Structure formats: structure tokens, C-alpha cells
Amino acid sequence: MSTASVIELEQIQIRLGGLTILENVSLAINEGEFIAVLGPNGAGKSTLLKLLLGLIRPSAGTIRVLGRPPRRGNDAIGYAPQHRTLEAELALRARDIVGFGLDGNRWGPGWPSRKRNALIEQALEEVDALHFANAPVGQLSGGEQQRLLIAQALLTNPRILLLDEPLANLDLTHEREIVSVVNRICRARNVAVLLVTHDVNPLLPVVDRVIYIAHGHSKIGTPDEVITSSTLTELYGSPVEVVHALDRLFVVGADT
């Protein structure tokens, strides 16, 4: 893993609608790191991704993404939004959905077909989706559809990959499969990954560090450093107990 920082936040504050979402957040993410972003609903996890995407601006503080202020439409960032299951009647093929990552929001003829098809094939291969590339997307499982969103995010050869709740509503088998795919991409491409999730347990074997956000504040470090009773009690401002059982972590007393 490289030590070159690709994301730097210094004393970031975000206020939306008169409410403080994040306060005095400072952190640095290195090239090739796999980071899990944790915290209760409404804590600001998705807001952090929007900040990096240039969709919102901080109320205070400094942010640098690849050495520059964030901006909309940065091809160096791949983004997979929260997934909604596509309708069963949808006739688009899996490869068509992936192709939207190149030209789905552009006017004109788009990419030359040969280069375009090669990029789509490569992305499908990286997420182990070639075997259902021509299947109607509405007939695919939630885990298979999630692979397509990740493939779509890879098409511009990003240096940063932002994944918003890719494990939501998946069973344990599909959770493990998605985690394995993302970890392989992170290591092979040396891309920095920020993956928003409610449950860190599927990621514990592979994640480098975690960012835990609660009550406007954050902590960053290894899971053993951050997911502790004392650290989470400090973040939540009330007693929280972290229980280790059955090779899993359980956070008790927090509104997650």
C-alpha cells in the first residue's frame, strides 16, 4: 500500500438546513487503502461521499482530493450510489447498465464502439459478471445488480472508489462475494476505496482502516483502535459497549 494521500480533510464542518452534520473532521486517506465508513443512520456517511464528489461544500475547513479542491464530474472518482432493485420487467442487458458509466449522461455519439465495448468487458470481468453480461438486468439478483454498479464506477479508471451501502439488503453469501470483489479491485488497481456500511463484520478480514461517524464527530484508525467501548462512548456521548462474540463485533447501546 502506497503512503501517498489522495484525500485530505482538515477541520471540516458541514452544516445543512441549520444543523451541524460534521464538525472538525480531519483525516487523510492513502492511495490503495480500503476504508469502511461506519455510523448510525443520519450520521453523515453519505454526506461525506457527497463532499468528496463536489456535490456539497464544507461550511468551514479545507478539503483536497488528489491535491485539488473537489469538483463535480471528476473522472478520477468512481461512485456507486445506494442500490435500488431494478424492476423484473426491465429488458436492458447487464452490459447496457454498465455502459451508462461511459455515456449514459452524455449527448452525442459517445465513445468509439470498439474501445467502449473493451472497457465494458474489462469492468464486467473485474466484478465476475461476464457470465451474465447479456442477461436482462431486471432478472438478476441484488448481489448481481450491485456488481454492475461497481463495474460502472470502474469505467473511467478511477483512483478513488466511493461505494454507498453496497452490502445493504444482501444475504451473507452475497455480502462476502461483494467484499471479495471490492478487495480484489482495491489491491489490483491500488485504488483508494471508501465503502459506507452499517455492519463492519463482513469487512473485518480485509479492511485497512475504518472511519466511524457519530453525533457530528469522527474517528479513524484500524478496527481494533476505533471500534472499542471507550472510543464509541466518547463519540456518542453516552455509554456504548462493544462485544466480541462468534468472531463478530456487536455495538450495544448505540442508536445504529
Residue spans per domain, the chain? 5-86+158-252
- What is the signed CA dihedral for 176, 180, 186, 188, rounded to 10 degrees? 180
> Per-residue confidence of the chain (256 residues) as pLDDT tens digits?
446 899 999 999 999 888 889 999 999 999 999 999 999 988 999 999 999 999 999 999 999 999 999 999 899 999 999 877 666 566 789 998 898 877 654 434 455 688 888 999 999 999 999 999 999 988 899 999 999 999 999 999 999 999 999 999 999 999 999 999 999 999 999 999 999 999 999 999 999 999 999 988 999 999 999 999 999 999 998 999 999 888 888 888 866 5
- Taken in order 156, 157, 163, 169, the sign of the CA dihedral is positive
DSSP letter (8 states) at residue 14: E
Q: Are 182 and 34 in contact (CB under 8 A)?
A: yes
Asked if 154 contacts 75 with a C-beta cutoff of 8 angstroms, the reply is: no
pTM over 0.95: no
Nearest CA-CA partner of 198 in 172, 168, 238, 156: 168
In contact, 194 and 35? CB cutoff 8 Å = yes
Q: What is the CATH number of domain 5-86+158-252?
A: 3.40.50.300
